[in-house]
Amino acid sequence: MTELVDCFRGQVFGLCYRMLGHRQDAEDVTQESFVRALRSLARWDNQRDFRPWLLAIAANRCRSLLATRRNVPKPSSEVEELPDARSFREERHVGEEVSLALARLREEYRQAFVLFHEQELTYAEIAEVLDCPVGTVKTWVHRARRDLAEHLRRRGFVKESSDAV
Amino acid sequence: MRCDEFESRLNEVLDERRPLSSAPDIEEHARRCGQCREVARSYEAMTAGLHYDTVPTVPEGLTARIVNEAMRSGREARPAERHVAVLRYPRRLPAAALLAAVLLLAVTLTWIDHRRGSDGPRGKAETDSVAQADRPRPAQVLNQKPPGAGSAIDEQVDRATAPHETDSFASQNLLNLGSLPAAGWAQPGAEWAQEMADGLQPVTRPTVGAINGFLNLWGIGDEGRRS
């Protein structure tokens, strides 16, 4: 059991962290996902890959938590707007900006994007995890990319240059 | 490549998990078009940002926490699993409950009728077959037009209190249903149930009467008769 958890905890935690944007919540949901997966291990079809099945459980737990969060009104301090890009552009790393933009994406886009780019799942595996058609997953990933790229452009992270790509 | 195809092409390359710089057609188009070049740069910044932005490391004690929690919940889940195993087919429970209720109803009605048959005047009336043959059948009574200008309620009271028509529980039921001339839908089912009841043993009459009542209430008495 320990080996199994060690093998997949990074991926599950990574997905949860990306989905929830909160370290403690991500830890809790990771733990809950593993416990659920281990408890219902008998229902896992061993002809199929274990990782998408486990990530699907984690994704569902994240969605549930996000749904409960939506029902709780946020305190005003949490919904403050982003600071001006010019004053923070130099200090902020582009990675942090991507992370920030990711957190503002639509839930489906973010999940699909993270599963593709960070967990490196194939489109078919993501479709299995999210329980939707492959075409829909592709659309979500493409829209997530477009939104992220646009966010970076708006925030001035794309340097003007006459050179080629 | 046209500008409207450019973003799709970027996505194609990224879908193959290749860097944008590995696609010469993208480079070529970006060199000529400033707007598309900006788009390509923003996509590059995004992929670069993904590499820089790392998820925080997994906490040290997480594995132990997960294993402990899994073992604890496993110990707690065992009695519940055993309980569930007893109810292997929970979806059949409503059907079984319905069947039990119907059986209980039938037994109760039979018992009531049996009690009434042994106590009251019905037993005598049942044994008098000649008198019964001469007596107008309730269905015939139902089909008669109401005499005079009596209301439906008066007619129902008259029929219910008439001694030759209160000889059985089934007949009472049929009369009650049949005395709703405004509704007009109860009579065919009532006739059918009466015919059936006449041909059955006295003990089963109330059950037939009750079933007839239910069928007519749902408006399927006629269909039952035809089928």
Point out the residue among A27, A94, A120 whose CB comes nearest to the CB of B52. Answer: A94
- Contact at CB, A164 and B31, closer than 8 angstroms: yes
- Contact at CB, A31 and B73, closer than 8 angstroms: no
Residue A58 in contact with residue A29, Cβ under 8 Å? Answer: yes
Per-residue model confidence as pLDDT tens digits over B30-44: 888 888 888 888 888
State which residue of chain B sits closest to A158, comparing Cα positions.
B42
Average pLDDT over residues B173-190: 49
Radius of gyration (C-alpha) of chain A in whole angstroms = 18
Comparing B112-116, B134-138, B139-143, B174-178, which segment has the lowest mean pLDDT? B174-178
> ipTM score of the complex?
0.71
A150–chain B Cβ distance below 8 A for any pair: yes
- Contact at CB, B55 and A120, closer than 8 angstroms: no
Report how far residue B100's alpha carbon sits from residue B83's, in angstroms, rounded to the nearest whole number.
Answer: 23
Comparing A102-106, A150-154, A157-161, B95-99, which segment has the lowest mean pLDDT? A157-161
Q: Check residue A145 and give its pLDDT.
A: 92
Average pLDDT over residues B203-225: 62
State which residue of chain B sits closest to A156, comparing Cα positions.
B42
**Helix segments in chain A, DSSP class H:** 2-20, 23-39, 50-71, 85-88, 94-103, 107-117, 123-130, 134-154
Residue A164 in contact with residue B31, Cβ under 8 Å? Answer: yes
Contacts of B15 in chain A (CB under 8 A): 123, 138, 141
Residue A61 in contact with residue A15, Cβ under 8 Å? Answer: no
- Contact at CB, B11 and A23, closer than 8 angstroms: no
Q: Check residue B118 and give its pLDDT.
A: 65
Average pLDDT over residues B146-155: 55
Comparing A70-84, A92-106, B189-203, which segment has the lowest mean pLDDT? A70-84
Which residue bears the tokens 């000649």?
A: B130
Q: Check residue A2 and give its pLDDT.
A: 76
Shortest alpha-carbon distance between residue B76 and chain A (Å): 11
Per-residue model confidence as pLDDT tens digits over A96-148: 788 888 888 888 899 899 899 888 889 998 998 888 999 999 999 999 999 99
B208–chain A Cβ distance below 8 A for any pair: no
Residue A58 in contact with residue A33, Cβ under 8 Å? Answer: yes
In this predicted structure, the answer to whether residue B2 has a pLDDT above a threshold of 50 is: yes
Contacts of A3 in chain B (CB under 8 A): none
In this predicted structure, the answer to whether residue A94 has a pLDDT above a threshold of 50 is: yes
What is the value of pTM for the model shown? 0.52
AA letter at A62:
C
- Contact at CB, B54 and A13, closer than 8 angstroms: no
| DSSP H or E run through A114 | helix A107-117
Count contacts between A and B (CB, < 8 Å): 121
For every residue of B126-154, which 3-state class applies, written as one string? Answer: HHCHHHHHHCCCHHHHHHCCCCCCCCHHH
Chain center to CA of B35: 61
- Contact at CB, A118 and B55, closer than 8 angstroms: yes
pLDDT grade, residue B105 (50/70/90)? very high
Average pLDDT over residues B167-186: 48
Report how far residue B187's alpha carbon sits from residue B190's, in angstroms, rounded to the nearest whole number.
Answer: 5
Terminal C-alpha separation, chain B: 73
Which residue bears the tokens 């659920």?
A: A36
Enumerate residues 6+ apart whose C-beta is below 8 A from A117.
B47, B50
Comparing A37-46, A125-134, B56-65, B190-199, which segment has the lowest mean pLDDT? B190-199
Chain center to CA of A15: 5
